[in-house]
Amino acid sequence: MSNKDLNIRNKRARFEFHLDEIFEAGIVLSGTEIKSIRSGKASILEAYGLYENGEVWLRNMHISIYENASFYNHKPRADRKLLLNGKEIKRIEKFLKVKGHTLVPIKLFLSQKGWVKVQIACAKGKKLHDKRQDLKEKDDKRQMDRLMKR
């Protein structure tokens, strides 16, 4: 896996939530964390964002321990600070004050300069009937593609 191939996605996010506004943020990481991420050993499936004391944090993101490190290794599920500008932080704070709204990571990737970035979205949970509708549309699209292929 080369450095530019890093593309860790949260596939369940679009199924579980209505995504409103999408932000791109940097992450504060230590040396062993970045090495594990570059080797593709990270997961954002259970992660979520929160606003605390004027800062936005990513909680419950799993980064595997780097095998080649000595005893200076990182914690796999530590809170990680997101780097956003002031306007974006205020918009996120305002959005999260409403009950039922959350901040969900969608994608973890490398920027052009080689920095690790995360794409986060302000989201609202879907109801069961919304999920069924999405599945129905997905099945209909699959059937249409099959018929067009023949």
Spatial separation of the C-alpha atoms in residues 110 and 101, rounded to whole Å? 27
Number of domains in the chain: 1
pTM, 2 dp:
0.78
Give me the mean pLDDT over the 40-52 stretch. Answer: 90
Q: Which domain CATH number covers 12?
A: 2.40.280.10
Say if residues 74 and 65 touch (Cβ distance below 8 Å): yes
- With a pLDDT cut of 70, the percent of the chain lying above it is 97
Give me the pLDDT at residue 4, please: 60
Cβ–Cβ < 8 Å for 67, 74:
no
Residues 95, 115: Cα–Cα separation, whole Å: 27
88 close to 122: Cβ distance less than 8 angstroms:
no
Cα(10)–Cα(77) distance, rounded to whole angstroms?
Answer: 16
Average pLDDT, the chain: 87
Q: What would the pLDDT profile of 103-146 be if each residue is shown by its tens digit? A: 999 999 988 888 999 999 999 888 888 888 888 988 999 999 99
Domain that holds residue 41: 3-149
